[in-house]
Structure 1
């Protein structure tokens, strides 16, 4: 198979979808790999390293899309890429369709086969291609939140871990999944007073067992959220419904109950956000303020730590990409239910219910194409 790896062009996105090590794995199985020049620079991988691994370097993104049977990316195609996607071309990347109708329509119009990292699902309901970036984003949410609590950045002027004689910051985490767990670990390690909320009592029992003493668990409900927001300094949204839009757990009217300088970090922004006043921001312009509350809603948080993120992501994606290259997407998805669940759009039709429901658009069972 001919595999194309374009340079990411989303704002401050420095990750790359395939490392030189991955190129070796593809080429030794007889596949051809084309990398856009400088695609790996942001993650510390040079064109020479890719060439030595067996890849061919192309000068433009258009040439990569034009030659490839399978495009492997990190982030969803953005508007300049829409016209480059071809009929029957397999695109393997994060899409997060349910939060972005123009992207969904563009991929329908392209006729491409869109296989989304975020909906590849294992038999235990875990999301193996989302987990590594959720781990990074969860840890970064506390790192960034601690920074924006500083007064020059319009926060409350609180040191996350406090000092002897002065209480630490209070951190509230909505969701006890991978993002929430990693956020709680970081916040607790920095000495904050942490409360983590979830709807799943079994999950809360587990977290209560494994977390340190400065992490408290709480059942998630609108009443409890409203009670807690008035006293917490950093609030992290870490809620995910696979392939669907995240629910709004923090509503606009709640902002007036927060202390001025409270910081909101919405890690769920890729899926529409679990904070009603959330809108995607970039690393270049990461925050905005509503009702004296600082909103940090960067849609590609792991892009700020590309070396770590690229290695973590490609460790997870490469085995699936090899299956797709070796067998073709139809056979690979017939053989692997995990990959089958990753199919979102095929030849102009939506084949993932969460996406069709998000926009009230027609749904076609994926079996039609397999």
Structure 2
């Protein structure tokens, strides 16, 4: 199969969808890999590094899309990339369709087969291609929040870990999944007083053990959140519903309970955000203020550390890319229900039910839509 790796063009995005190690794997399986010139620069990977492992470097994105059947990316395609997609393409990347009806409509109209990293499941129902970036984003969330608490950045002027004789700051983490666990670990490491909220008692039990009882675990009722909000300096929103819009866990009215210049970090922003006042920001312009509360809602937090993120992501995605290229989309997805769960759009049909519910669109069973896709390897 012909596999294409274009440069990422989302604002402040420095990751790349494949490393030279991935090229080597694919070439050894008999596939051709086409990489856009400069695609790896943000992750400290030169064109020559790709060429040394057998890739063909092409001058621009148009050439990559024209040459390839399988397109491997990191972030959701931007409008100019959607326009390049054809029914002969399979796209494998993060999509985050639930909060983006325009992208959903564009992908449906393209006729391409679109598989989302974030909805692929493993045998235990976990999200193996989302987890690495959730780990990175959770760690960044606390680091960024601690930085934004500094007075020159508009924060309260508080050192999150405190010093002898001066109390540490308080951190509320809403959501005890991969993001929340990593955010809590970093906050604990900084010396903060940490509270982790979740609605799964079993998960809270696990976190007691994982965090070695160094954080307080709290059942995430609305009242419990409201009671703690006046005390905390940093809130990390880490709520996830598989493939669907994130639920709102803090309303604008509740901002009035918080200390002035406290910080909210919304890691759920890719799925629409879990604070009512959230809107996506960029690394170049990461924050804004609402009612005296600093909001940090960068939509591609792991993109700030691309050397770490690119390798963490591609370590997880590469086995799936090899399967798609070697077996073809029909066989690869048909043999693995968890992989099939990643199919969001095929043959002009929406195939992921949570997106259909969020956008009030009809959706087709993925197996049925996939059957209408051409029988070639892509």
Shorter-chain TM-score bucket reads over 0.9
2:374 matched to which residue of 1? none
Q: Cα distance, 1:335 vs. partner? A: 0.8
Q: Following TM superposition, by how much is the alpha carbon of 1:226 offset from its aligned partner in structure 2, in angstroms?
A: 0.9
Match of 2:177 in 1: 177
Map 1:172-321 → 2, pairs under 5 A? 172-321=172-321
Query: CA–CA distance in 1 between the matches of 2:20 and 2:238?
Result: 32
* Residue 350 (structure 1) aligned with residue 355 (structure 2): no
Q: Work out the CA distance in 2 between the residues paired with 1:343 and 1:214.
A: 40
2:4 is aligned to 4
Alpha-carbon separation, structure 1, partners of 2:88 and 2:297:
34
Post-superposition CA distance 1:129-159 (Å, at most 9, x none): 0000000000000000000000111111110
Taking the TM superposition and a 5 Å limit, the aligned residue runs for 1:123-138 are 123-138=123-138
Alpha-carbon separation, structure 1, partners of 2:299 and 2:217: 27
CA distance in 1, matches of 2:42, 2:234: 30
* Cα deviation, residue 213, structure 1: 4.2
In the alignment, is the contact (CA less than 8 A) between 1:173 and 1:235 conserved in 2? yes
RMSD over aligned Cα atoms: 0.8
1:158 is matched with which residue? Answer: 158
Q: C-alpha distance in 2, partners of 1:94/1:275?
A: 22
Output one character per residue of 1:306-348: Cα deviation in whole Å (capped at 9) or x when no partner: 0000000000000011000001111100111121000000011
Alpha-carbon separation, structure 2, partners of 1:280 and 1:79? 17
* 1:15 alignment partner in structure 2: 15
**For 1:108 and 1:336, how far apart are their aligned partners in 2?**
23
**Cα deviation 1:154-208 (Å, max 9, x = unaligned):** 1111101000000001000000000000000000011000000000001111111
2:125 and 2:338 in contact (8 A); partners too: no
Q: Contact between 1:191 and 1:214, CA under 8 Å: does it hold in 2?
A: no
* Alpha-carbon distance in structure 2 between the residues aligned to 1:284 and 1:86: 33
C-alpha distance in structure 2 between counterparts of 1:290 and 1:19, whole Å: 40
Question: Partner residue of 2:114?
Answer: 114
- How many residues of Structure 1 are paired with residues of Structure 2 in the alignment? 370
Q: Distance in 2 between matches of 1:124 and 1:250?
A: 30
Structure 2 unaligned regions, length at least 5: 372-378
- Matching of residue 83 in structure 1 with residue 83 in structure 2: yes
Deviation at 1:211, TM superposition (A): 1.2
Partner of 2:24: 24
What residue is the counterpart of 2:360 in the other structure? 360
Question: What does residue 336 of structure 2 align with?
Answer: 336
Whole-Å separation in 1 of the counterparts to 2:7 and 2:66: 14
The question of whether the paired residues in 2 share the 8 Å contact of 1:269 and 1:280 is answered with: yes
Once the two structures are TM-superposed, the CA of residue 99 in structure 1 deviates from its matched residue by 1.2
Give the C-alpha shift of residue 125 in structure 1: 1.4
* Mapped partners of 1:114, 1:302: distance in 2: 22
Deviation string for 1:30-53 (max 9, x for gaps)?
100000000000001000110111
Which moved further from structure 2: 208-217 or 65-74?
A: 208-217
The residue that corresponds to 1:167 in the other structure is 167
Query: Which residue of 1 is the match for residue 69 of structure 2?
Result: 69
Residue pair 1:188, 1:212 contacting (<8 A) in 2 also: no
Secondary structure of the corresponding residue to residue 256 of structure 2: helix
Question: Do 2:6 and 2:64's aligned partners in 1 also have CA atoms closer than 8 Å?
Answer: yes
| Equivalent-residue separation in structure 2 for 1:341 and 1:210 (angstroms) | 29
| TM-score, normalising length: structure 1 | 0.99
Q: TM-score, normalised by structure 2?
A: 0.97
